[in-house]
Structure 1
Amino acid sequence: MTDITTPSRRIGSHVFLMVLLVAFLAPVVWALLSALKPANDIIRAPLTFDPSTVTLDNYIAMFRDVPIGQGFVNTGIVLVAKGAITMFFAPLAAFAFAKYRFVGKNVIFGAVLVTLMLPTIVLIIPLLLQMKEFGWVNTYQALILPGSVDAFAIFWMRQVISAVPDELLDAARVDGSGEFGIFWRVVVPVIRPGLAGLAVLTTMNIYNDFVWPVVVASSDRMATLQVMLSTLAQNITGNRIGADYATVTGELLAASSVALIPLLVLFILLQRHFINGILAGSVKG
């Protein structure tokens, strides 16, 4: 009985996963293909695609009407700086919580976890007032520093580092290694899958962040990619007199496709590391 039902269950699960795959990818494929269609065809026949009518006019017009390159530059700067801070300091804090005993450790870690329950909207006004006092509004400092070492990253890495055997750390201490040397030479090589998973999640979160950048970086010069995408329709109609609905839709799809490509490439290249990181982060501490 088991030999008969097991293959059928596997087939059923594969069919179910394929249905989910189609459901999730269909909007993405439609957007990518529609961006290559003439603007009027997107409105007139949105569910059809004729390869003979493929054109790059939507992309050319979008790059001409919208300074999306500046959005990529700002996002790249924030991503590199904020990601580096997260990837360095979050594992260090997690190492302390996972492998050291000190007074108030559980209370402090509990306070860190409590911040996960706070809605982002609750923190925006206090943070914005603080940035104003520092004179950091519309600066990279405001985009990078707040939230650069978040509670989730610390929790994630604590779960991963907790699985590292204490015997490895004790052996390194016997060999005369310092505490930071233990972290860098012993712990980091062991937790690379967890670090890879955190890197992918951190990249996605920073790249897709919208609420905080739109509040603290209101100028066009400091706008990140997501902020620029949110105001894309206004920029297109403002830079082109008489731009109709079809023109705006075509350029919006082109811009969305350009913004989507980096994340798709990142996930495809790091898929194996991301899955291993998810499994490493699921270890109980």
Structure 2
Amino acid sequence: MNQTRPGPVQYAVLALLATVFLYPIWWAVSSSLKPAAEIISDPLSIGALTLDNYRAMFADVPIGTGFANTALVLVVRGAMTMFFCPLAGYAFAKYDFPGKNLLFGVVLLTLMLPTLVLIIPLLLEMSALGWVNTYQALILPGSIDAFSIFWMRQTIAAIPDELIDAGRVDGAGEFGIFAKVVLPVIRPGLAALAVLTTMNVYNDFVWPVVAVNDTSHQTLQVVLATLAQNVTGNRIGADFATVWGELLAAGSIALLPLLVIFVLLQRHFINGILAGSVKG
């Protein structure tokens, strides 16, 4: 098949877009390595490099605690999402049972509810269970969400029924068919779900700031949001430039995990995104 190769104009447009998207990241990282005063006085220059902002940030802000709490929530909640949501999607895609369409419609209806609408009911539920200021409150709500179920249902629905029937003929059990037949086929979709789940959990701010109000359970995003308050509270006479220097240092460190995950899984992520749009 003849394919048109991108020309110089297309490459120029792509280079321009890449510059627009990458420049803020480059500026934030480079500015975090500058003396705090220069960030305000000459924000576009590249002067002497220093790690003072990072040293001060680690001394003033419990960013290590935020990373540890976020990692714990991400691992446990991500494992629950990656285990239960594909199973639910498989049931909706390949099984017939009474009320299936109605139940799936109810699941889809929950996607229309804004997060803020659910905050008060969830907080009341956590309070009734005695889970406020606990890891359970950070992990369990939203660990099995409607979008992930819908995503897995659409991905698994594209698998031919004959492939599953062949597994049954070979004597495999239902869970064995799911583990040995379905999962290898939907790996791109699982990789895309893993990236999306990681981004959602890592960037979540509204629910952690409501469910937890003690510093020992604060996630990274809550720590970053209260960074200015922590800096000015821990250091007498801290000025605006100092806050900006430490904020950029913390933001640069917080950026690294997501950047690494996306670079490692970008091929699977793109394949998973495109899988549902290709009919074979």
Return 5+ residue gaps in structure 1 as ranges.
none
Q: What is residue 118 of structure 1 aligned with on the other side?
A: 113
Contact residue 98 and residue 162 of structure 1 kept, 8 A = yes
Return 5+ residue gaps in structure 2 as ranges.
none
1: distance between equivalents of 2:256 and 2:70?
14
Q: What is residue 135 of structure 2 aligned with on the other side?
A: 140
Q: Deviations over 1:135-155 (max 9, x none)?
A: 000100000000001111111
Q: What is residue 170 of structure 2 aligned with on the other side?
A: 175
Secondary structure of the corresponding residue to residue 216 of structure 2 = coil
Q: What is residue 96 of structure 2 aligned with on the other side?
A: 101
Q: Deviations over 1:52-102 (max 9, x none)?
A: x10000000000011100000000000000000000000000000100111
Q: Deviations over 1:107-126 (max 9, x none)?
A: 11111111111000000000
Which of 30, 42, 46 aligns to 2:27? It is 30
Q: What is residue 187 of structure 1 aligned with on the other side?
A: 182
| TM-score between the two structures when normalised by the length of structure 2 | 0.96
Q: Please list every run of at least 4 consecutive aligned residues from structure 1 whose deviation after the TM superposition is greater than 6 angstroms.
A: none
| TM-score between the two structures when normalised by the length of structure 1 | 0.94
- State the identity %: 70
2: distance between equivalents of 1:239 and 1:281?
51
Deviation at 1:13, TM superposition (A): 3.0
Deviation at 1:18, TM superposition (A): 2.1
2: distance between equivalents of 1:164 and 1:212?
36
Contact residue 34 and residue 250 of structure 1 kept, 8 A = yes
Q: What is residue 129 of structure 1 aligned with on the other side?
A: 124
Which of 162, 165, 168 aligns to 2:160? It is 165
1: distance between equivalents of 2:277 and 2:258?
23
Contact residue 157 and residue 281 of structure 1 kept, 8 A = no
1: distance between equivalents of 2:277 and 2:202?
24
Alignment of 1:61-80 (within 5 A): 61-80=56-75
Secondary structure of the corresponding residue to residue 269 of structure 1 = helix
Q: What is residue 257 of structure 2 aligned with on the other side?
A: 262
Name the aligned partner's letter for residue 18 of structure 2: L
Aligned residues: 278
Deviation at 1:14, TM superposition (A): 2.8
Matched, 1:90 2:91: no
Which of 46, 64, 67 aligns to 2:43? It is 46
Secondary structure of the corresponding residue to residue 48 of structure 1 = coil
Q: Deviations over 1:142-180 (max 9, x none)?
A: 000000011111111111101111111111111111111
1: distance between equivalents of 2:245 and 2:230?
14
Name the aligned partner's letter for residue 24 of structure 1: F
Q: What is residue 15 of structure 1 aligned with on the other side?
A: 12
Deviation at 1:16, TM superposition (A): 2.3
Matched, 1:223 2:218: yes
